[in-house]
Amino acid sequence: MSQALHRPRIRPGRIVVWTLLMLGGIVMIMPFAYMISTSLKTPEQVYDLRLIPVRPTLKNYAALLADARFLDWFVNSLVTSTLVTVSVLFFDSLVGYTLAKYRFRGRGVVFIAILSTLMIPTEMLVIPWYLMSASLGWLDTYWGIMFPGLITGFGVFMMRQFFMTVPDELIDAARIDGLSEFRIWWEIAMPLVTPALSALAIFTFLGNWTAFLWPLIATSESTLFTVPVGLSSFASENLTRWEMVMTGAAVSTIPTLIVFILFQKYIIRGVVLSGLKG
Amino acid sequence: MRAIDSLTIHQKQALWAWVFLAVPIVFFVVVRFYPTLDSAWISLTNWSLFREPKFIGFANYRKMFADPVFWKVFANTFKYLALGLPISLLISFTVAYFLDRVRVMHGLIRGLYFVPYLTTAVAMAWVWRWFYEPVPIGLFNDVLSSLGLPQQPFLRSVDQALPSVLAPAIWAGLGFQVIIFLAGLRAIPETYYEAARIDGVGSWTILREITLPLLRPTLLFLIVISSIGFLRIFDQVYNMTVDGQGGPLNATRPLVLNIYNSAFVDYDMGYATAQTMVLFLVLLVITVVQLRLLRSS
């Protein structure tokens, strides 16, 4: 931010600009404010659109959590998103490292082939994935929800960029010390790219947590829904009970908001890294 | 001696590389490349899921081009792009341009704009759907009527529904665009601005002559990424329209929702994949054209 000190500045309007930006920011979070506010209201109060509820109540949350389905959806999302993230971190960095640090015939072809998968929209693949899952019995299983995302072309590309910055001398020195190739990657190279790994981890987790289209297709048993799919079905069956819909929306959004508040710095940096380098 | 040594090291390296790549290569072949070819093949079949696929040549494509719903959906998809892209880029650039100069509570303000990007599109679609309800439930109509303005049908109107569905999509993406613009602005060397100020150039000219031209890579990236996003809109439409049908009268139905319906409501896998081929081609053409246009100019 020290750079901003030297920037040309619109001097007369500075306070006006600041105020407008702040107002815009407040408008941006209004949907959350209203979502939380309505989730704290009784059905009669829903028509009272004041932002601060007159007599806030947690009854809706109690009612929602008494509905066992929500817990299922949370567990499903938590397990699948976590496992996919672990797999992505492991495989994407292994492949990225291999493509960055090994010289072998076919390296270019492998790299271009993996990059080319970024051009193929998921929508084109979901139907073959569905047919594959149906014939192999993967529908309505965790594996079925997870398998398409276990390794990603984007992550491979991003990790390759970062492993390129690891000096070859370090790897050669480890070889001379007699470390196995696997341990060189895991113990020498991996710790050097932790910023990239944490950005990739957060994005993979959030991306899977909020994913809708594939989990919607891959599951039909409500006990196997992920949070977004569950919320979608819950909301459409409670269309007249907006305070319950808002409570469901709040419960499904709070985890992502917490992740954001905790990791704000990494997330912003991750967007920049993935945006400008990927 | 050394030549032989280095040769074995190379061979050893190559061996390790293929060991490390073995599982991922199998994965990419099975989960990415095979399904890509498979969907091209499925699009040439009549496959209702319950019967064996039957090869029917280009019949799905002929059916598609003769289907008025497909053309409606195709037009809708481009409406999302044509409205969403310029509006979102204009707002996010304006915010980033001024936010770049703000020091007091810079992080907080940036956070306020960014939070929507990280939320579940499904949850936010329902919040916005509630906003659009008529009085006495909906917030927007409540504000309108308290200002003495007539109520608006929003999601119930064939004309207003599409922009109403688009609004939360634009809203959710602004934070990402702002962050990328901010990073682009920070990357412009300070010396350009200093030189311009010494020459006594006004801030409007600086914006037009220095900032915008130097932001071209950032702009290019955002245009491509955001276009792809708007052309693939689905979550909002599915959750904001009655029964996820993209109504009223298909007024909001985008291509991805039509694909979903063909495949998982009508179980017409061939027809659905034929439409995915169109989506793929559109994304490819748009990306290539945008990269060409922006690189050459």
What confidence tens digit (pLDDT) does each residue in A228-247 have? 999 999 999 988 899 999 99
H, E, C per residue of chain A:
CHHHHHCCCCCCCHHHHHHHHHHHHHHHHHHHHHHHHHHCCCHHHHHCCCCCCCCCCCHHHHHHHHCHHHHHHHHHHHHHHHHHHHHHHHHHHHHHHHHHHCCCCCHHHHHHHHHHHHHCCHHHHHHHHHHHHHHHCCCCCHHHHHHHHCCCHHHHHHHHHHHHCCCHHHHHHHHHCCCCHHHHHHHHHHHHHHHHHHHHHHHHHHHHHHCCHHHHHHCCCHHHCCHHHHHHHHHHHCCCCHHHHHHHHHHHHHHHHHHHHHHHHHHHHHHHHHHHHC
User: How many CA atoms lie within 13 Å of B266's alpha carbon, on the beta-carbon side?
Assistant: 16
* CATH superfamily name and code, B63-296: MetI-like (1.10.3720.10)
pLDDT for B2 beyond 70 = no
Least confident of A20-24, A74-78, B209-213, B232-236: B209-213
Segments making up each domain of chain A, as ranges: 2-45, 67-273
The verdict on a CB contact (< 8 Å) between B32 and A153 is yes
In which band, very low, low, confident or very high, does the pLDDT at A51 lie, cut at 50, 70 and 90?
confident
Q: What span, in angstroms and rounded, lies between the C-alpha atoms of B13 and B7?
A: 10
Q: Do A25 and B112 lie within an 8 Å CB cutoff?
A: yes
CA A212 to chain centre: 12
- The pLDDT assigned to B4 comes to 47
Does position B3 have pLDDT exceeding 90, yes or no?
A: no
- The reply to whether residue B35 touches residue A129, judged by beta carbons under 8 angstroms, is yes
Q: In 3-state terms, chain B is what percent helix, strand and coil (to 5)?
A: 75, 0, 25
Q: A75 pLDDT exceeds 90?
A: yes
Q: How far is A269 from chain B (nearest CA, A)?
A: 9
The complex's ipTM works out to 0.91
Residues of chain A in contact with residue B168, where contact means CB-CB under 8 angstroms, are 31
Could you tell me the residue ranges of all domains in chain B?
Answer: 63-296
Q: Is the pLDDT of residue A9 over 60?
A: no
A271, A273, A274, A277: which to substitute to probe chain B, counting the most B Cβ within 10 Å?
A271
Pick the CATH number of A67-273 from 2.40.160.150, 3.30.70.20, 1.20.5.50, 1.10.3720.10: 1.10.3720.10
Predicted confidence (pLDDT) per residue in B167-196, tens digit: 999 999 999 999 999 999 998 888 888 888
**pLDDT-above-90 percentage for chain A:** 72
**What is the structure's pLDDT at B1?**
46
Judged by CB atoms within 8 Å, which residues 126-185 of A form the interface with B? 126-132, 134, 147-148, 150-151, 153, 156, 181, 185
Greatest mean pLDDT among A79-93, A156-170, A231-245: A79-93
How do residues B113-156 score in pLDDT, each as one tens digit? 999 998 899 999 999 999 999 988 889 999 999 999 999 999 99
CB–CB of B20/A98 below 8 Å? yes
Closest CB from B108, B115, B131 relative to A257: B115
User: What's the confidence (pLDDT) of residue A8?
Assistant: 53
**pLDDT, mean of residues A114-118:** 92
pLDDT above 70 covers a percentage of chain B that reads 97
Judged by DSSP in three states, B43 sits in coil
**pLDDT at res. A276:** 52
Letter for the amino acid at A218? Answer: A
Identify the band that residue A262 occupies on the pLDDT scale cut at 50, 70 and 90. confident
Q: In angstroms, rounded to a whole number, what is the distance separating the alpha carbons of residues A51 and A26?
A: 13
CB contact (8 A) between residue A49 and residue B20: no
For residue range B252-294, what is the model confidence (pLDDT) as tens digits?
999 999 999 999 999 999 999 999 999 999 999 998 998 888 7
Confidence band for B13, pLDDT divided at 50, 70 and 90: confident
Distance from CA of B145 to the nearest CA of A (A): 13
| Cβ distance of B260 and A151 shorter than 8 Å | no
Question: What pLDDT score was predicted for residue A14?
Answer: 85
For residues A153-169, average pLDDT:
93
User: Does the pLDDT at position A277 exceed 80?
Assistant: no
Q: Which of B16, B180, B203 sits opposite A271 (nearest CB)?
A: B180
Are A18 and B176 in contact (CB < 8 Å)? no
Interchain pair A123, B259: CB under 8 A: yes
Query: What pLDDT sits at residue A2?
Result: 43
Chain B contact for A115 (CB, 8 A cutoff): no
Q: Is the pLDDT of residue A274 over 70?
A: no
CA atoms within 13 A on the CB side of B296: 6
Would the pLDDT of A3 be above 50?
Answer: no
Query: Which residues 188-247 on chain A approach chain B with CB closer than 8 angstroms?
Result: 206, 209-210, 212-213, 216-217, 227-229, 231-232, 235-236, 242, 245-246
Computed on alpha carbons and rounded to an integer, the radius of gyration of chain A in Å comes to 24
User: In what helix (H) or strand (E) does residue B36 lie, and over which residues does it extend?
Assistant: helix B34-42
Q: CA A247, CA A268: separation in Å to the nearest integer?
A: 28
Cβ-defined contact of B95 to A24 (cutoff 8 Å)? yes
Residues of B with CB below 8 A from A213's CB? Answer: 234-235, 256, 260
Query: How many whole angstroms separate alpha carbon B130 and alpha carbon B80?
Result: 21
pLDDT for A11: 60
Better pLDDT: A42 or A76: A76
What is the tens place of the pLDDT at every residue in B74-86? 999 999 999 999 9
CB contact under 8 A, B24 and A117: no
Could you tell me if A17 lies within 8 Å of chain B, comparing CB atoms? yes
CB B74 within 8 A of CB B90: no
pLDDT at site A27: 95
> Which residues of chain A lie closer than 8 angstroms to B11, CB-CB?
none
Q: How confident is the model at residue A258 (pLDDT cuts 50, 70, 90)?
A: confident
- Shortest distance between the Cα of A31 and any Cα of chain B, in A, equals 7
* pTM reported for the whole predicted model: 0.91
Q: Shortest Cα distance from A19 to chain B (angstroms)?
A: 10
- By C-alpha distance, the chain A residue nearest B275 is A124
**Does position A275 have pLDDT exceeding 80, yes or no?**
no
Structure confidence at residue B26 (pLDDT) = 97
CB B179, CB B110: distance < 8 Å: yes
- Rounded to the nearest integer, the mean pLDDT of chain A is 90
